[in-house]
Amino acid sequence: MGFDVPGWAQRPSPPRRQMIGRYCRVEPLDAGRRAAELHEANSEDVTGEIWTYLPYGPFADLEDYRAWLNAECTGHDPLFHAVIDETGKAGGVAAFLRIDRSNGAIEVGHIAYSPRLQRSRAGTEAIYLMMRRVFEELRYRRCEWKCDALNQPSRAAAERLGFTYEGSFRQAAVYKGRNRDTAWYSVVDQEWPALRAAFESWLEPSNFDAGGRQQLSLSTMTRAALPGRAPAR
């Protein structure tokens, strides 16, 4: 039998309230305010790779993108957020979704980062802030990350961020006329204190040189934080 979870009660829904970090701000998506900024940032991806493994996009123009934001990104689940970098402009989006309040499980997904946010401190900190809300403010037990099993950049990102691979669901979905096997990853609440320490050490300004290059990688830190974590196969 599973271990006891004393005093367990249904968890609250994520609030529509911004999360503020050192390098970024993560705010509930306001399509009217941020659509143009996001579309401009996304346009820097001239190959359209942002949209390869997402079930939507690319978008023909700003109005097409704005219409999609207004139609699909204003609800409570998924709850979309814009990631605002140090320039004060939105460079990408991420969402809370599949919000299971009864069991304390939630997914971080719909991540679409423009080139300016990819491989940046702001982009990493945004996910840290969302995970901190999940585990510390909302007291959920489980945070999930899912992606197309062929999406190697997303799978590498999950492991870098400290998520543990749990397996793949075969033929889980069809999108854009293609099959999707879905790879599942998670972090659970007992792991969060060690991962939080790893994130905060990595995000310290002293971990970066004058050119912004990291001294110690986040992957190294999260592996040390969870030494028993099995690598994906």
Model pTM above 0.85: yes
Domain containing 96 equals 19-225
Judge whether 159 and 151 are in contact, CB under 8 Å.
Answer: no
Q: What is the pLDDT of residues 56-115, one digit of tens each?
A: 999 999 999 999 999 999 999 999 999 999 999 999 999 999 999 999 999 999 999 999
Give the Cα separation of 29 and 26 in Å (integer).
9
The per-residue pLDDT for 146 is 98
User: Is 185 inside any structural domain?
Assistant: yes
Question: Looking at residue 212, which CATH number applies to its domain?
Answer: 3.40.630.30
User: Is 11 inside any structural domain?
Assistant: no
Q: What is the pLDDT of residues 4-53, one digit of tens each?
A: 999 999 999 999 999 999 999 999 999 999 999 999 999 999 999 999 99
Judge whether 148 and 183 are in contact, CB under 8 Å.
Answer: yes
User: Is 6 inside any structural domain?
Assistant: no
* Two structure tokens written together for 97: 């979704």
User: Is 168 inside any structural domain?
Assistant: yes
The per-residue pLDDT for 5 is 94
Total number of domains constituting the chain: 1
Write out the H or E segment, with its range, that includes residue 217.
none
Give all strands (DSSP E) within the chain, no chain letters.
Answer: 19-20, 25-28, 79-84, 90-100, 105-113, 142-148, 164-175, 178-188
